[in-house]
Amino acid sequence: MGKITEALKKVSDERIKRLQKKPEIQYVVKRIKNTKIDEHIVSFHDPTSPVGEQYKILRTHIQSLKSTKNCKTFLITSSINGEGKTVTSINLAITMAQDLNNKSVLLIDADMRRGKVARYLGLKQNIGLSEILSNGTGLDSALISPNIDNLTILLSGKTAKNPAELLSAKKMQNLLESFKNKYDYIFIDSPPVMPLTDACIIGPMVDGVILVIQAARTQRDVIKHAENRLHQAGAKTIGVVMANVEYHLPQYLYRYVQEYSEYK
């Protein structure tokens, strides 16, 4: 009986080791040198990578929404902190800007508490949304270019003492309406739904909300609660993005992707 138990334990240990072993290749990101843009912004560094292709698929879905329902303003949020909404927002905005039809794209960092768009893009935190909403700062001094064709950035600005009240004001809605006349697509990175009310304030002002969920982290009931809060606020959730999904490419498929990228 002892030998059987020992054999079973050995098989179990070997299986656990196989499961815990990280694949040699998960996905490849070629980092562009001499840039301050964070390596998580795959759409900038390596848009032809497997992860970059996923953002292109998302771009196709959004383009379809614009052609069928004229949707052009999107709020990107999450249930809780740390699910990857800002990285998703930036990658998606860059991917939309890379479209060969040269569509103009605006990315707004609406997290006036702890905005991170500037850090990920290697930009100096400039005057931004908080100054525009609080003291009427002009757009010309707030809108900046990150040296990416067709993309304009509106940073969060200085930390605001009353961000919810600023977003609730009519001025925010008027601002979005004015942007609609200038840009083909507008993406807004907002704070998460559960701890704060910001996303529920902005949600009804846009054409659709994209909810970012981190794989193997976010609990289902939390996601459901966040969706309910958005629905009650009058916001329309049009889709979900699963972030931090770990997968690996079979060796033969990896070789194909790599060779195809080099060929192009």
Q: Does residue 176 fall inside a structural domain?
A: yes
Model pLDDT, residue 140:
86
Closest to 230 measured CA to CA, from 186, 191, 175 = 191
Higher pLDDT, 168 or 10: 168
Q: Does residue 70 fall inside a structural domain?
A: yes
Q: Does residue 130 fall inside a structural domain?
A: yes
Q: Does residue 117 fall inside a structural domain?
A: yes
Model pLDDT, residue 7:
63
90 is in which domain, residue-wise? 27-247
Q: Does residue 72 fall inside a structural domain?
A: yes
Instruction: Provide mean pLDDT across the span 216-240.
Output: 91
Structure confidence by residue, pLDDT tens digits, 232-241: 999 999 999 9
In terms of average pLDDT, the best of 28-32, 135-139, 204-208, 220-224 is 204-208
Q: How many domains does the chain have?
A: 1
Burial of 85 (0-12, 13-18, 19+ CB in 10 A): buried
Model pLDDT, residue 262:
44
Model pLDDT, residue 20:
55
Structure confidence by residue, pLDDT tens digits, 136-168: 888 888 999 998 999 999 999 999 999 999 999
252 pLDDT higher than 50: no
Q: Does residue 139 fall inside a structural domain?
A: yes
Q: Does residue 216 fall inside a structural domain?
A: yes
Residue 150: give its domain's CATH number: 3.40.50.300
Instruction: Provide mean pLDDT across the span 30-34.
Output: 84
At residue 118 the predicted structure's pLDDT band, cuts being 50, 70 and 90, is very high
- How many percent of the chain have pLDDT more than 70? 82
In terms of average pLDDT, the best of 20-29, 132-141, 200-209 is 200-209
Pairing assessment for the beta strands 151-154 and 143-144 based on DSSP bridges? antiparallel
Model pLDDT, residue 214:
85
Cα(60)–Cα(42) distance, rounded to whole angstroms? 17
Q: For the chain, give the mean pLDDT.
A: 85
Pairing assessment for the beta strands 151-154 and 185-189 based on DSSP bridges? unpaired
